[in-house]
Structure 1
Amino acid sequence: MRKYNREHTLFYCDPPYWDTEGYGVDFGLEQYAQIAELARTIKGRMIISVNDIPEMQEAFKGRAMQSVAINYTVSGLQGRGQRTELVIRNF
């Protein structure tokens, strides 16, 4: 990100959803805090999508947030149901 951090750059971040399984990587709350700090300090614009839960609302407090309803699918099949996702931006 440092290499491309310019006022005209748009970064999209889609980190693993907190408190879900199946990613196979450790991604703790401190890493969401690092993304939130980047959103506060970079020159460019940033859009972040995470699951809509209180921990994420707290981690990205102070940024513009919108809760968006989405339908999850598995392999193109309906059935996982409707959830909400947070779309966060620094502009």
Structure 2
Amino acid sequence: MADKYGVPFGIEQHEGMASMLVKLKGKAIISLNDLPDIRKIFSGYHIETTDIRYTVGGGKSSDSKEVLIFS
């Protein structure tokens, strides 16, 4: 998973975010890459899929999908 973000952020960190989400007193929306492990970790929440276009430094863009996770 870390290669998708350009920094070390593995499955353990995503699981930690899911644990924190349970404890929040307010509402949250999290946007993450649409990956099977992400969907599994956050399966207890409402998830919507959205299209996204990644462009870095005005260069070539690529189309992808992200999930929006609602607490």
Which has the larger helix fraction? Answer: 2
Residue aligning to 2:56: 74
Residue aligning to 1:58: 40
Aligned to 2:25, what secondary structure does the other structure show? coil
- Bigger Rg over Cα: 1
Task: Using the TM superposition, give the Cα deviation of residue 62 of structure 1 relative to its aligned residue in structure 2, in angstroms.
Answer: 1.0
Q: 1:21 to 1:36 in 2, by over 3 A?
A: closer
Q: Say whether the 8 Å CA contact 1:49–1:86 is kept in structure 2.
A: yes
Residue aligning to 1:41: 23
Aligned to 1:50, what secondary structure does the other structure show? strand
Query: What is the TM-score normalised by the length of structure 1?
Result: 0.68
Query: Unaligned stretches of 5+ in structure 1?
Result: 1-17
Query: What is the TM-score normalised by the length of structure 2?
Result: 0.84
Q: Hey, which bits of structure 1, 4+ residues long, moved more than 4 A?
A: none
Query: Unaligned stretches of 5+ in structure 2?
Result: none
Aligned residues: 71
Q: Distance in 2 between matches of 1:21 and 1:52?
A: 11
Q: Say whether the 8 Å CA contact 2:33–2:66 is kept in structure 1.
A: yes
